[in-house]
Amino acid sequence: MPKAFITGITGQDGQHLAEFLHSKGYQVFGMLKGQNNPRAIQFRDEFPYVELVPGDLADLPSLVSALDQVQPDEVYNLGAISFVAISFNQAELTSNITGLGVLRMLEAVRMVGGTQNNPIRFYQASSSEMFGQVREIPQNELTPFHPRSPYGCAKVFGHNITVNYRESYGIYACSGILFNHEGPRRGLEFVTRKITNTAARIKLGIDKELVMGNLDAKRDWGYAGDYVRAMWLMLQQDQPDDYVVATGETHSIEEFLTLAFEEAGLGDWRNFVRQDPKFFRPAEVDLLIGDPTKAQKKLGWTREVDFAGLVKMMVRHDLESEASRAKR
Ligand code: NAP
């Protein structure tokens, strides 16, 4: 039975990946940070087959000890301070966890797997935010980076150090440059989930309005369940490499709002949405659109859920979960 070790197990992608790898017959281990992590109880209930191992991306000895205990075949480094807006306020913490955390994880792989013919395969969760102020449209694996946030800067470091460890030490290390991917497990702080959850709450009479930042930003949005499949495929190839994973389509926040409010049965979103400059980013990334050709050709990866399907899935989930919470 192959063994997979996942950092960021309690996050959106960690949950999807755990489910996917379990269905593939893996023994799944997840790294849990903190002495009393608030997400642990619910996580254990939902994922009884995942063995939780303590560790923190800020602490190299804990990573070495976790890998030593598990002896994994595959390591997926999904742990990060992942919310761009927070990274402006907590730039040092973001650099430490999202950036230096990758170096620590790679060092742990090198120390536990050995310097010759290291058997551990490593996946790094890179991000389209590395493209920031885009140099070309669409963005592919060779597009230069111009990050526009401390989060994007930290991800550029994580990406480069992953490539460097592959080239310097022969580690099987891949970097997946994933464009935005969402779903019902997305954190409530992220704009897509904030929209679908608030639309559901307005429909149920719990909230009255939705307060938003920039409505002009455009993103290439896919479904998280489709994207974790690409992570796994990257680690099954003969040679390690880097891949853009995206839909190749871009949609504005306004389009997302239109579909979400229609699906919730609320009609025109303009009747419920107020803009507040407080939610604008100090520097915006305006037009992210990825070119997934390499992932499609080399990995045989394709997405199964389209943009409209994604928005509907999220709204339906939030209508159901908010209604059952209201009854309790
Ligand atoms: P997420 O839901 O925000 O999850 C982040 C995870 O990182 C959580 O499990 C969190 O644990 C963990 N974490 C935070 N600080 C940590 C630390 N010091 N040590 C160990 N773990 C720590 O993020 P996601 O959406 O699943 O994304 C997964 C990865 O893909 C992230 O690296 C993200 O930056 C990257 N990415 C995401 C997208 C996207 O659209 N979702 C796109 C490109 C790249 P706690 O719950 O305990 O805080």
Q: Which residue has tokens 């030593």? A: 68
Per CATH, the number for 3-181+222-245 is: 3.40.50.720
**In the chain, where the domains are located:** 3-181+222-245, 186-219+250-288+304-327
Which of 76, 82, 103, 244 should be mutated for ligand 1, with most atoms under 8 A from CB? 82
Q: Tell me the pLDDT tens digit for each residue of 4-34.
A: 999 999 999 999 999 999 999 999 999 999 9
- C-alpha torsion 17→20→25→29, nearest 10: 20
pTM (2 d.p.): 0.97
Q: Which two three-digit tokens encode residue 257?
A: 């709002």
Decide if 3-181+222-245 and 186-219+250-288+304-327 have a common fold: no
Distance between CA atoms of residues 37 and 151, nearest Å:
23
Q: Tell me the pLDDT tens digit for each residue of 30-58.
A: 999 999 999 999 999 999 999 999 999 99
- The stretch 102-127 carries a mean pLDDT of 96
Distance between CA atoms of residues 228 and 224, nearest Å:
6
Q: Tell me the pLDDT tens digit for each residue of 138-161.
A: 999 999 999 999 999 999 999 999
- The answer, yes or no, to whether any atom of ligand 1 lies below 6 A from the CB of 82, is yes
Distance between CA atoms of residues 161 and 30, nearest Å:
23
- The stretch 199-207 carries a mean pLDDT of 98
Atom in ligand 1 nearest the alpha carbon of residue 39: 46
- The answer, yes or no, to whether any atom of ligand 1 lies below 6 A from the CB of 124, is no
The Å distance, Cα 267 to ligand 1 centre, comes to 34
Q: Which two three-digit tokens encode residue 22?
A: 């379990």
Distance between CA atoms of residues 81 and 103, nearest Å:
15
* Predicted confidence (pLDDT) at residue 253 exceeds the cutoff of 90: yes
Tell me, yes or no, if 127 is annotated catalytic: yes
* Burial zone of 325 (CB within 10 Å; 0-12 exposed, 13-18 middle, 19+ buried): exposed
pLDDT, residue 328, reads 83
Protein residue with least CA distance to atom 1, ligand 1? 11
Q: Which CATH architecture has domain 186-219+250-288+304-327?
A: Alpha-Beta Complex (3.90)
pLDDT, residue 131, reads 96
